[in-house]
Amino acid sequence: MRYLPHTPEEVEAMLSTVGAGAIEDLFAHIPNACRRTKPLALAEPLSEWELDRHMDGLSGTTAIQPEYMIFMGAGSYDHHIPEAIKQLLRRGEIFTAYTPYQPEVSQGTLQIIYEYQTLVTRLLGLGVANASMYDGASALAEALLMAVRVTRKKRVAVSRAIHPLYRRVVQTYLAPTGFEIVELPFGPDGRTDLKSLQGADELAAVALQSPNFFGCIEDLKAMDQAVHTDAKALMVVAFTEPLAYGLFKSPGALGADIACGEGQSLGLPRSFGGPGLGLFACRNQHVRSMPGRLVGQTVDGDGQRGFVLTLSTREQHIRREKATSNICTNQGLCATAAAMYMATLGGTGFRELARLNYDKAGYLKNELQKGGVQLPFAAPTFNEFVIRLDEGSKRTYRQLMAKKIIAGLPLDKFYSELEDHYLICVTETSPKADMDILVKEVTA
């Protein structure tokens, strides 16, 4: 097998050195009661070419663009990924290296992650960012746990307009802790109703998502006031589409103490939902309570600039049960991809791409409205928005699917009161012609 170098002669020589007669002797000390009773019931190994055919066949059963028009986002977005990034990520020195425990021979990874951290602070408008969390959902859960540590209060408020699956992950993480989760409703305009915060006390954090699950831009200025002045809690702003901050103000600029969310839009393929990238940033004063790895700048013995993992005493391998989190392996290669993507776009490109996304969605919204389709939420949106079709729309939806058009994500699965509502997403990848076809089909 091409991954295994040893020849029978080499094995014999090594066994002789070790003083074993056969390779099975090396396992002789394993008690019989712990052993398998049958050999591994797996198929014969596939050659590289058989594997290719098998996987080609498997891959061919998925509905993908351009054969299908898929107008879905909901936490997983279709954006162009430059070929240069795909090739750079395949450099063996980048993707086959591990955590940079030995900084002298890992300066590549370390500078890449330091740059990533910096770009994330600039994107989110906060002082410090970590080297990544697993995804936007676990990042939100960790943000709430961090807020509890910082404030020593045991209740958190979470908006119902946050991605439903993020809220489920938050519930899972908080279930054994006894911390209470208070749900904030959303109002008729699609934004979180902050009125219910009045009189709320003993809150460690209030969490909103912006743009929220419905694509609506939340009123973070009002949130700042309600959370800091009234509730005296930490302001946590989550997101699933960070490209929005190329057009709209960043969470940090509007008062967020912690910003956390999904970075898949930044150069990662959708890949059936993973691997994703948990972006996480906070105000400088909270850095010692922040979970996750951190890369810092320093100098070497000759005074040369270099980078190292630092503030490690927060982490599990030192602090063990008192660590800020249990996280060890994070999403290093995904953070690398995101850094490359942000570098490739640059500030100018990031702003232009964000604007293009916004304009595409704006065009589609307008055309649908002209065609008589209802847009139930009045708040401004970025590249996603909700439409409401007539009763019995499930039939229309299925008919469109048969025509290879996936007209958004039906929302009744997550919000039972939102029957016949669909979450539509378009990005820079959607040509005008496709959008025109959707309008025609939906308004027919």
Which runs of E-coded beta strand occur in 332-432? Answer: 384-388, 405-406, 409-410, 421-425
Token pair for 169: 């992950």
d(CA 159, CA 190): 11
Nearer to other proteins, 115 or 257 (CB): 115
197 vs 364, which CB is nearer to other proteins?
A: 364
The token pair that represents 360 in the structure block: 């595409």
Hunting for tokens 């209030």 — which residue is that? 206
Tokens at residue 240, please? Answer: 């699933």
Closest contact distance (angstroms) between CB of 199 and other proteins is 28
Cα–Cα dist 61/64, whole Å: 9
Smallest gap from Cβ 437 to other proteins, in A, equals: 14
Please, what is the Cα angle at 303 between 298 and 306, to 5 degrees? 35
Least CB distance from residue 268 to other proteins, whole Å?
9
What is the DSSP annotation of 141-182?
Answer: HHHHHHHHHHH---EEEEETTS-HHHHHHHHHHHGGGT-EEE
Residue with Cβ nearer other proteins (371 or 431): 431
**Residue 188 vs 273, nearer CB to other proteins:** 273
CB of 232 to other proteins, least distance (A): 18
Residue nearer to other proteins on the CB measure, 200 or 259: 259
How far apart CA 427 and CA 270 sit, in angstroms, is 14
Question: CA 261, 334, 87 angle in degrees (round to 5)?
Answer: 145
| Residue whose CB is less far from other proteins, 61 or 229 | 61
The Cβ of residue 95 has, within 10 Å, a number of other Cβ atoms equal to 12
Helix (H) or strand (E) holding 345: helix 332-370
Give the residue with the Cβ less far from other proteins, 130 or 206.
130
Biggest distance spanned by C-alpha atoms of the chain: 83
C-alpha dihedral (398, 400, 402, 405), degrees to nearest 10: -120
Question: Which residue lies nearer to other proteins by CB, 108 or 196?
Answer: 108
| Complex with other proteins: residue 135 or 420, whichever CB lies closer | 135
Q: Closest approach of Cβ 169 to other proteins, in Å?
A: 5
Beta carbon of residue 380, minimum distance to other proteins (angstroms, whole number): 6
Which residues are CB-contacts of 2 (< 8 A; sequence separation ≥ 6)?
A: none
**C-beta neighbour count of 167 within 10 angstroms:** 23
User: What is the C-alpha separation between 317 and 327, in angstroms, rounded?
Assistant: 10
**Shortest CB 417 distance to other proteins, Å:** 19
Name the amino acid, one letter, at 354: A
- The CA distance from 69 to 429, in Å, is 11
Return the number of the residue (36 or 395) whose C-beta is nearest other proteins: 36
> Is 344 strand, coil or helix?
helix
